[in-house]
């Protein structure tokens, strides 16, 4: 009987705590502060190829700092001379599932394997973005995202001229070779236009 | 052509149900459906109603998308963001009811009181609600398969009801199969040992515990975001 009461009490506390955290996270003032970043992020999106410093971007987009370091060691001068580039976005949420991690890993590895040179000279960039961060919500509309997605975006003179959602990543995730080939082909098509 | 569409819908449904991310809800569903383990007809009825519940959710979404101009990305984002968060809390509370830690005062609408009472007594009505709720709990894989796979097919075929219905059946097939295996297996053991009432006592408790564990998992993953 006592165990029952204890269990009941514990579960009620857990439920109350969950509700509390849920409500706090939804209405926390943090959200408003971040919301102001929308303007910044949007602004940055349009000036991305002119903007020579990659570091502040990672802050806005909440990317893991280490990844940013290895993926875009773009020398400042070279980026400045470019007026068009390709960004490969990987959009994910806060909850990371196994298949989604695989898709991110494959996308990252495929790009790293085939396009080391382009990554180096700043013509290509791989950017993981958490769409659940309030500042990134506009991406859902921009690219009509329904789930975790890999999207290629061609930026020219600070404006996006073309984009493609590589929806087949979900079909090919069980076949690593085909997945790599798919990403390679699609990125190549985009890079041709830079 | 028609047949191909139907086959794709079933296949997308099966893929959805066997992908790892709805695994936790599938375990909860199997244990809930096969809870009245000694009454094979009830297990069967629960399974049908669970399937119906899932299909109902997909049909409503399908009709919303095909017939009206609901914005699919926003709908998908909304469901993935909020349903999973609420699901954890709901599962814990249902688990507590199953363990008799909570009592629900039931006041039923008088019209179909008898029918509703019978359904609730058999625990089958709960299966319908469970199907509706679990179908709403989209995760990345199921969102990719439903919104990215099935919906484009349904839009093309202008089929807001048929294809989502078939897809819903597909998503519950493995759960149905497993539940009936469990029921067959245990009723065989029951017959051996003649401990029917005791077995039911334990299966109900086990279902309650599974619900609480799955609920805690969902809360930790989606509310506290620590898994």
The reported pLDDT for the residue numbered A71 is 41
Whether the Cβ atoms of residue B137 and residue B15 lie closer than 8 Å to each other: no
Three-state DSSP at B20 gives: coil
The tokens for A149 are 């997605």
pLDDT higher than 70, residue B123: no
A168 or B199: whose pLDDT is higher?
A168
Taking CB atoms and an 8 Å cutoff, what residues of chain B touch A146? 72-73, 76-77, 143-144, 147-148
User: Exposed, middle or buried: residue A10 (CB in 10 Å: 0-12, 13-18, 19+)?
Assistant: exposed
**Residue pLDDT, tens place only, B158-171:** 888 999 999 999 99
The reported pLDDT for the residue numbered B197 is 63
**Residue pLDDT, tens place only, B14-62:** 988 888 778 888 889 988 888 877 777 788 888 899 999 999 999 999 9
User: Helix B2-18 and helix B162-193: axis angle, to 10°?
Assistant: 50
Residue A190 CA to its chain's centroid (Å): 18
The CA radius of gyration of chain A, in Å to the nearest whole number, is 20
User: Helix B124-136 and helix B40-67: axis angle, to 10°?
Assistant: 40
The reported pLDDT for the residue numbered A150 is 93
Separation of alpha carbons B34 and B49, rounded Å:
13
Taking CB atoms and an 8 Å cutoff, what residues of chain A touch B81? 93, 132
The reported pLDDT for the residue numbered B136 is 93
Residue from B73, B102, B215, B216 to probe the interface with A (highest A Cβ count within 10 Å): B73
The reported pLDDT for the residue numbered B105 is 60
Nearest to A72 by CA among A20, A108, A29, A24: A108
DSSP string computed for B142-193: HHHHIIIIIHHHHHHHT-SSHHHHHHHHHHHHHHHHHHHHHHHHHHHHHHHH
Average pLDDT value over all residues in chain B: 83
Contact pairs from chain A to chain B, CB under 8 Å: 91
Using CB atoms, pick whichever of B85, B99, B148 lies closest to residue A146.
Answer: B148
Separation of alpha carbons B24 and B81, rounded Å:
17
> How far is residue B37 from each of residues A118, A150, B131, B154, measured CA to CA in Å?
61, 45, 19, 37
What are φ and ψ of residue A90, in 5° steps? -115, 115
The reported pLDDT for the residue numbered B56 is 95
Using CB atoms, pick whichever of B84, B148, B225 lies closest to residue A167.
Answer: B148
Taking CB atoms and an 8 Å cutoff, what residues of chain B touch A147? 76, 80, 140-141, 143-144, 147-148
pLDDT band at B1 (very low <50, low <70, confident <90, very high): low
> How far is residue A150 from each of residues A102, A155, A178, measured CA to CA in Å?
12, 16, 15
Using CB atoms, pick whichever of B80, B81, B92 lies closest to residue A15.
Answer: B92
Whether the Cβ atoms of residue A127 and residue A61 lie closer than 8 Å to each other: yes
Q: Which span out of A67-76, B113-122, B130-139 was modeled with the highest average pLDDT?
A: B130-139
A8 with B102: Cβ contact below 8 A? yes
Taking only the tens of pLDDT, chain A with its 194 residues reads: 688 889 899 999 999 999 999 988 888 755 444 444 443 444 344 333 333 333 333 334 444 443 343 444 444 444 444 578 899 999 998 887 788 888 999 999 999 999 999 898 888 999 999 988 888 888 988 898 988 999 999 988 888 888 999 988 888 888 899 999 999 999 999 988 87
Other beta carbons within 10 Å of A106: 19
pTM of this prediction exceeds 0.80: no
> How many residues does the structure list for chain B?
227
The reported pLDDT for the residue numbered B51 is 94
Using CB atoms, pick whichever of B76, B89, B102 lies closest to residue A18.
Answer: B89
In angstroms, what separates the C-alpha of A147 from chain B's closest C-alpha? 5
The reported pLDDT for the residue numbered B107 is 54
Taking CB atoms and an 8 Å cutoff, what residues of chain B touch A7? 99, 101
A14 touches chain B (CB under 8 A): yes
């Amino acid at each position: 009987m006592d165990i029952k009461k204890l269990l009941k009490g514990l579960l009620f506390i857990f439920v109350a705590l969950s509700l509390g955290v849920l409500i706090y996270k939804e209405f926390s003032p943090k959200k408003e502060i971040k919301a102001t970043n929308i303007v910044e992020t949007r602004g940055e999106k349009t000036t991305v190829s002119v903007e020579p410093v990659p570091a502040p971007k990672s802050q806005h987009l909440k990317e893991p700092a280490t990844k940013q370091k290895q993926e875009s060691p773009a020398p400042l001068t070279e980026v400045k001379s470019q007026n068009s580039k390709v960004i490969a976005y990987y959009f994910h949420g806060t909850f990371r599932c196994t298949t989604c991690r695989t898709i991110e890993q494959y996308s990252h590895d495929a790009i790293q394997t085939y396009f080391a040179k382009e990554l180096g000279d700043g013509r290509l960039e791989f950017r993981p973005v958490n769409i659940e961060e309030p500042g990134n919500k506009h991406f859902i509309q921009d690219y009509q995202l329904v789930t975790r997605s890999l999207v290629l975006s061609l930026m020219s003179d600070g404006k996006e001229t073309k984009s493609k959602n590589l929806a087949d990543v979900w079909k090919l995730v069980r076949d690593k070779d085909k997945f790599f080939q798919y990403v390679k082909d699609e990125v190549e098509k985009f890079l041709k236009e830079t | 052509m028609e047949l191909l569409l139907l086959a794709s819908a079933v296949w997308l449904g099966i893929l959805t149900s066997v992908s790892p991310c709805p695994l936790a809800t599938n375990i909860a569903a199997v244990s809930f459906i096969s809870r009245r383990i000694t009454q094979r007809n009830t297990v069967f009825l629960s399974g049908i109603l669970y399937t119906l519940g899932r299909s109902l959710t997909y049909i409503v979404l399908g009709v919303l998308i095909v017939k009206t101009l609901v914005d699919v990305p926003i709908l998908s984002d909304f469901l993935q963001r909020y349903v999973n968060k609420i699901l954890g809390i709901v599962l814990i509370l249902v688990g507590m009811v199953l363990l008799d830690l909570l009592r629900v005062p039931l006041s039923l609408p008088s019209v179909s009181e008898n029918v509703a009472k019978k359904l609730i007594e058999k625990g089958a009505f709960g299966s319908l609600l469970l199907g509706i709720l679990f179908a709403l709990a989209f995760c990345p894989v199921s969102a990719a398969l439903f919104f990215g796979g099935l919906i484009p097919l349904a839009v093309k075929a202008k089929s807001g009801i048929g294809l989502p219905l078939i897809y819903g059946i597909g998503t519950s097939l493995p759960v149905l199969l497993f539940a009936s295996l469990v029921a067959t297996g245990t009723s065989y053991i029951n017959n051996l040992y003649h401990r029917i009432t005791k077995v039911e006592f334990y299966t109900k408790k086990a279902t309650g515990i599974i619900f609480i564990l799955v609920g805690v998992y969902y809360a930790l993953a989606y509310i506290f975001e620590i898994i």
